Amino acid sequence: MTRISLRGRILLFFVALAAGTVLALAAGLWFGYHREGRPDMLNAFIQSAIAAGFLILALITWVWYLFDTHLARPIDNVASAMRARAHADVAHDIETKDARYLGDLAAAASATATTLAQTRGALAEQVQRETTRLSSDKNKLEKLLADVPPAVLLCTGRHHLVFYNGVAQQFLAGSQRPVCLDRNIFDYLSEGPIRDAHHRLIEGGDPDAVVEFICLSPCGRRRLAGRMRLAGDNGGDHAAYVMTLRDVTTEVEAYARRDALLVDVFQQVRPALSDLRRAAESPEQSGVAGAPVVPQLQALDRLLAELEARFETCRSDGWPMAAADARELAGQLRRALEGQGFTLDIDVVELAVRCNTFDIVNLLSHLISHIHGVTSATQYRLVISDAGAAADVAVSWVGSTIQPEALDAWLGEAVFEGGMTCDSILKAHGNVLVVDCADDLPSISTRLHPVERLRPVAADLSRHVVYDFDLLSRLHYEKISDARLDALTYVVFDTETTGLLPEQGDEIVQIAAVRIVNGKRVKNEIFNLLVNPGRPIPPSSSAIHGVTDAMVADAVSVQEAVRQFHRFAEGAVLVAHNAPFDMEFLSRRERELGLRFLNPILDTVLVSATAFGRAETHTLDALAERLGVSIDEDDRHTALGDAIATADVFIKLKDMLAGRGLSRFGDVLASLRSHQRLVRDLNDQARVS
């Protein structure tokens, strides 16, 4: 009986009452008939019994209906509301208008919920006051770790991601799989070197040991230098480790160029010198003294010129340089000259150049101060223009020109006491300085290279760190049915479509998803794609979700969107509101793409029916209102907005299920299947085995 709901038990009580009453009536009539002993009265007794039986059943049914409507159902609603406030952190008052026949129960429940909310609020306020300093320190540490040059990752002993910073996301983002918590690190990096370094740390037994290694990203585009050490205080996972990665692709290429240059010097110059030595030692063999030496010298001269050009390319490889915005370089030079009383007009294109900005600004400032001493010019003009593989940097002024001899003398001077000479800065950048006087406007110019076009920083590569240290102590389950709900990773998704009939050709126009890890939504792990459906979007559909033909004209195809979402959802439990509708648009592409969505699936409609009862309204709007989840009007009926709302609703429903004792996935699944008259459960044996 404990498995039957309150309303079910009350219904059984009235059924038993009706059956007992009818049996009592039948027994009374049977006794009266036999006591009378007149056969002609049998029909009268039967007719009376039938009429009385129907009246009694109608009366009991009417009383049951009133009891169910005004007592049993409101009690269930009050119980669900209390459970929501106890386990799902819902703060608003309990609705009592449907519970007016419960006497003081509804008012008492509402007062209890209000007191609970006030107590929680006071406790939260006190905790907030106590943890404000810690939170501030935490935010500072997060920003610091987000911006440190190396990629920083923390992994469990099973090689699953627990922490990564923004640099790590940029390093790994080129992979076919998006970077997400609880994903295997080998989805993004070559497995062999990392496993080898990890085994060396484990077998060494030294908790302070550090192992260095070189690994590749799976696509092979990046060569990364790594350092690994065991994590120490790690929540019971003694094999967890911290790893830092530094991109050394450019350095390796520079070393390769330098090695190739040195090899060519030894392989090509030495034979040429040997030939010259033989020609010099035995001129009589040529018949004309000195004749063989001339072509050898010319060949050696050409070879040395070629090697010198290659050396100039390699010269700057080892110097500390970074990609600098040409506009920032110009701004720094202007501020430096304003401090000397000079003005600088700027004409700069949007380029990024690889240079040491500090050295270049000091170089130009130093030379301009000398030019002023010779020409008395105080107004200058800086032009940085695109020259293909390089950027031309020219400083001009109105007045007399300067002599090359004077420029050579200035280049030999240090830009400031103890600093590099101007000539050393130019050589470090592989440059020379040229004096020109075109159009009676004297100037000095040089080149900076290589050049990159400036690109806007992607929104998803902003400064942040993503982590959940509880993953270090989370238990691993062999069977998903035995797993606790918070031990699973969920991908909550929603789709917007051209219509409601996929079997008649309707397609996805937007798909979005968020991830829930360890019972919390990960704010920086979002999947959101506009999709070109390959057919016009009806205006009636655009009026609902706001996606138009123009918005998806250059978007990815349905096939590519499904393929990318399959990678994002790999290894997670899928969650959706009315899942059969959304899954139909995905599963119909499985055969075409050669993939399968074998993820377990939870439908928030069925989860809501388990938490609140089947008779309640289970729309997303109703659930959001009932559970205190706010949905911005601009985000409603967008795939991302609905996915976020569904995720927040699911987290609260999950906590309510745990309060009912449904804390393991197998128990929840068994309970959901009792409500399949609302929505079909999609979990077959392949998904939950």
Domain ranges of the chain: 6-105, 148-247, 251-318, 322-453, 477-688
- 1 pLDDT exceeds 60? no
Amino acid at residue number 101: Y
d(CA 286, CA 515) in angstroms, rounded, equals 82
* Measured CA angle at 292 (ends 286, 295), to 5 deg: 160
Write down the H helix ranges in 241-322: 249-264, 270-281, 293-315
58-116 pLDDT, tens digit per residue, is 898 898 888 888 887 887 777 777 777 777 667 666 766 667 767 667 777 777 777 77
Q: Of 323-337, 449-463, 597-611, which gets the smallest average pLDDT?
A: 449-463
Q: What percent of the chain has pLDDT over 70?
A: 81
The per-residue pLDDT for 296 is 65
- 688 pLDDT exceeds 60? yes
Q: Which long-range contacts (CB under 8 A, 24 or more apart) does 646-649 make?
A: 646/492, 646/494, 646/575, 646/576, 646/577, 646/604, 646/620, 647/490, 647/492, 647/514, 647/516, 647/521, 647/575, 648/521, 648/624, 649/577, 649/604, 649/620, 649/623, 649/624
Mean pLDDT of the chain: 83
- The listed range with the strongest mean pLDDT (145-154, 174-183, 636-645) is 636-645
Give the full edge-to-edge strand order of the sheet including 223-230.
211-216, 223-230, 241-247, 151-155, 161-165, 465-467
The per-residue pLDDT for 457 is 45
- 564 pLDDT exceeds 80? yes
The per-residue pLDDT for 286 is 47
The per-residue pLDDT for 460 is 44
d(CA 101, CA 111) in angstroms, rounded, equals 17
Of residues 547, 541, 320, the one with CA closest to residue 428: 320
d(CA 666, CA 689) in angstroms, rounded, equals 10
Q: Spell out a b/e string for 616-647, using b for 16 or more CB atoms within 10 Å of the CB, else e.
A: bebebeebbebbbbebeeeebbbbbbbbbbbb
d(CA 600, CA 689) in angstroms, rounded, equals 9
The per-residue pLDDT for 461 is 45
d(CA 379, CA 344) in angstroms, rounded, equals 6
The verdict on domain 148-247 having CATH code 3.30.450.20 is yes
Contact at 8 Å (CB) between 193 and 176? Answer: no
The two structure tokens encoding residue 182 = 């609880």
The per-residue pLDDT for 436 is 85
Give the full edge-to-edge strand order of the sheet including 601-603.
556-557, 520-532, 508-517, 490-497, 573-576, 601-603
The per-residue pLDDT for 288 is 44
Q: What percent of the chain has pLDDT over 90?
A: 36
Q: Of 456-465, 538-547, 574-583, which gets the smallest average pLDDT?
A: 456-465
Q: Spell out a b/e string for 215-238, using b for 16 or more CB atoms within 10 Å of the CB, else e.
A: bebbeeebbbbbebbbbeebeebe
The per-residue pLDDT for 170 is 82
The per-residue pLDDT for 574 is 97
Choose the CATH number for 322-453 among 3.40.50.2300, 3.40.50.300, 3.30.565.10, 3.40.50.261: 3.30.565.10
| Bridge partner residues of 322 (DSSP) | 355
The per-residue pLDDT for 586 is 95
d(CA 242, CA 591) in angstroms, rounded, equals 41
The per-residue pLDDT for 26 is 80
404-429 pLDDT, tens digit per residue, is 888 889 999 988 877 788 988 887 77
Residue 357's pLDDT band (cuts 50, 70, 90): confident
476-485 pLDDT, tens digit per residue, is 888 899 999 9
- 439 pLDDT exceeds 70? no
d(CA 137, CA 142) in angstroms, rounded, equals 9
The per-residue pLDDT for 459 is 43
Q: Which one is predicted more confidently, 1 or 304?
A: 304
590-630 pLDDT, tens digit per residue, is 999 999 999 999 999 999 999 888 888 899 999 998 888 98
CB atoms closer than 10 angstroms to residue 587: 15
Q: Which of 70, 92, 449, 637 is catalytic?
A: 637
d(CA 6, CA 83) in angstroms, rounded, equals 15
The per-residue pLDDT for 36 is 65
Residue 16's pLDDT band (cuts 50, 70, 90): confident
The two structure tokens encoding residue 219 = 């696509």
The per-residue pLDDT for 370 is 92
The two structure tokens encoding residue 348 = 């700069």
Residue 117's pLDDT band (cuts 50, 70, 90): confident
- Rounded mean pLDDT of 133-159? 78
d(CA 448, CA 307) in angstroms, rounded, equals 21
The per-residue pLDDT for 32 is 72
Choose the CATH number for 477-688 among 1.10.1040.10, 3.90.400.10, 3.30.420.10, 3.30.1330.30: 3.30.420.10
The per-residue pLDDT for 133 is 63
Kind plus residue range of the DSSP H or E element containing 336: helix 326-338
**DSSP-derived secondary structure letter, 456:** P
- The listed range with the strongest mean pLDDT (28-32, 132-136, 263-267, 650-654) is 650-654
pTM assigned to the model: 0.68
210-236 pLDDT, tens digit per residue, is 999 988 876 667 788 999 999 876 667
> Is 372 an active-site residue?
no
Q: Of 120-134, 587-601, 653-667, which gets the smallest average pLDDT?
A: 120-134
The residues, ordered by sequence, that sit 6+ positions from 397 with a Cβ below 8 Å of its Cβ are 371, 375, 377, 379, 380, 381, 441, 442, 443
- 458 pLDDT exceeds 70? no
